[in-house]
Amino acid sequence: MLRLEDLEVRVADTLLLGPISLELRENQVTCLIGPSGCGKTSVIKWMAGILPPEMKASGTLTLDGTPVERHDRFLSYQPQSDALFPWLTIGENVCLGLEVAGMSRGEAWAKAAPLFEPFGLKGTEHLFPRQLSGGMRQRAAFLRTIVQDSRYILLDEPFSALDAVTKIRMQEWLVSRLEADPRGVLMVTHDLHEASRIADRLLVMSSRPGRIMADLPINLPRGQRSETALADLREHLKTLLLEDET
């Protein structure tokens, strides 16, 4: 279990967010939802160890009770854009994290290659990102994240750039991928429909300075999450979010 305690982020004495505490369980999808600017990205960047230097943070991160030193060993971060390098092929993009971690290109490729098929990316290995559709790019980005074998995965609005139809498809796809290969996931989004469709647990942040104002488990199995079944939860979320920001 990954515990984050008493995180506070400031820029030049202004409190941007916090104090926030939260925990991620292994094999569980947690969605962090909140209005724009509340600090969702900042939370995730701090966890990934890449908060920009002008933002001062205090707080602790513990993994199964022991304080964390090197974040990159057990956490994989996927930024808000798909961040596929346009000058690398999809194959090279996917191997990036493994190579940075010290593998040779050959080893990395041996590890990544078998995953192209289940990710629906067969045949794209030698293509460049611009030759792929939005959904495929998002899958490639996710493959690059997954292949690093981290126990925890941080996703920052992975689907916000997709159109509604593709978004729904990708949400379903992500759910099925995680069922095949479960990880502890923290996914940031501001889309309450998306969050309610994917999450095992919902954390709702208040507007700036962001705090966690609700922690809602969703026990309904994902197969049964029809629009009707989720309607009440969504109404509740909407009320929460709209009330907060006044």
Partner 1 sequence: MLLRSNALAILVMLALLLLWEAYCRMSGVTPLVLPAPSDVLRSLYLNAHEISGHALATIGVAALGFSMSVTFAFLTSIALHFTPTLERAFIPVFVVSQTIPLVALAPLMILWFGFGVLPKMLLVILVTFFPILLSLLSGYRQAPRDFLDLMASMGAGRLQRFRRVTLPSARPAFFAGLRISATYAIVATIFAEYAGARSGIGIYILQAKNNFRADLVLSAVVVSAVLTLALLGFLRLIEWWTDPETRRRRHAPA
Ligand X SMILES: Nc1ncnc2c1ncn2[C@@H]1O[C@H](COP(=O)(O)OP(=O)(O)OP(=O)(O)O)[C@@H](O)[C@H]1O
Which residues contribute to the site for partner 1 (CB under 8 A)? 45, 48-50, 70-73, 75-81, 83, 85, 87-89, 96-97, 100-101, 126, 128, 148
Q: Which of 3, 8, 41, 111 binds Mg ion (CB under 5 A)?
A: 41
Nearest distance from C-beta of residue 77 to partner 1, angstroms: 4
Identify the residue among 28, 30, 42, 150 touching ligand X (CB under 6 A).
42
**Which of the choices its own copies, partner 1, Mg ion, none does residue 97 contact, using the CB cut-off of 5 to 8 A by kind?**
partner 1
50/110 with CB nearer partner 1 = 50
For 1-58, the DSSP string reads -EEEEEEEEEETTEEEEEEEEEEE-TT-EEEEE--TTSSHHHHHHHHHT---TTEEEE
Look up tokens 């309904």; give the residue. Answer: 220
d(CA 212, CA 178): 25
Q: How far is the CB of 66 from its own copies (least distance, A)?
A: 36
CB of 163 to ligand X, least distance (A): 5
Spell out the residues 6+ positions from residue 18 whose beta carbon is closer than 8 angstroms to its own. Answer: 6, 7, 8, 9, 39, 59, 209, 210, 211
50 binds, among partner 1, ligand X, its own copies, none (CB under 5 to 8 A by kind): partner 1
The residues in 191-230 that bind its own copies, with binding defined as CB under 8 A, are: 191-193, 226-228, 230
Site residues (CB under 6 A) for ligand X, limited to 53-72: 54-55
CA-closest candidate to residue 146, choices 103, 192, 183, 114: 183
The count of residues interacting with ligand X (CB under 6 A) is 16
Token pair for residue 163? 């159109």
Chain residues 70-129 in contact with its own copies, contact rule CB under 8 A: none
Q: Which residue has the tokens 């960047």?
A: 45
SS3 176: helix
- Contact between 245 and ligand X (CB under 6 A)? no
Please say whether the beta carbons of 29 and 201 come within 8 A. Answer: yes
Residues that bind Mg ion (CB under 5 A): 41
Chain residues in the site for ligand X (CB under 6 A): 11, 16, 34, 36-42, 52, 54-55, 163, 190, 208
